[in-house]
């Protein structure tokens, strides 16, 4: 795993430790880390607190800018439609993601928003980066939740 995705992966591990869906993100500009984050949906009770959006907000603040032109985003799970919309709006140059998301991925897993023609800015998208590790982290997390559900009869959704 390269150092860029490894940063995102470590953020995903932090999310897991905190009971969050284990997704992490890191944003680099000129090979320098400018922001990193992990999902905080459960803690904040905010369905928009995805790793990508939190990292974008931190990167914008760090650069004092309204866009992230020239930046690359590394994220352990394929971005959803909400996140890919934000990625395009802030003009991130490249996105590298780990695991594909057949349920709600918006970069080819479920739908392919970047190539739909609805944006005037084209972000380069590269999927399957460190996919086995990223996919295993997510599968293990949801399997542990299912085991816990079996002991108490609760139902938990896999959505962020």
Active site residue 31: no
Residues 72 and 94: their CA atoms lie apart, in Å, by: 5
Q: How much is the CA Rg of the chain, to the nearest whole Å?
A: 15
| Residue from 52, 133, 143, 149 carrying the catalytic annotation | 52
Transcribe 33-59 into DSSP letters.
EEEEEE--HHHHT-TT--HHHHHHHHH
CA distance 105 to 159: 11
- The residues annotated with a catalytic role in the active site are 52
């Amino acid at each position: 795993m390269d150092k860029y995705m490894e940063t995102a992966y470590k953020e995903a591990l932090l999310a897991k430790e905190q009971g969050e869906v284990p997704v992490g993100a890191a944003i680099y500009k000129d090979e320098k880390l400018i922001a990193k984050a992990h999902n905080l949906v459960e803690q904040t009770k905010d369905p928009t607190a995805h790793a990508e959006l939190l990292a974008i907000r931190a990167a914008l603040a760090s650069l004092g800018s309204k866009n992230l032109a020239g930046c690359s985003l590394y994220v352990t799970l394929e971005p959803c439609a909400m996140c890919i919309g934000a990625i395009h709006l802030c003009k991130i140059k490249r996105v590298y993601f780990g695991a594909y998301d057949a349920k709600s991925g918006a970069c080819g897993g479920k739908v392919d928003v970047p190539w739909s023609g609805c944006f005037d800015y084209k972000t380069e998208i590269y999927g399957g980066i460190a996919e086995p590790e990223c996919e295993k982290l997510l599968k293990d997390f949801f399997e542990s939740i299912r085991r816990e559900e079996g002991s108490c009869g609760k139902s938990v959704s896999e959505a962020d």
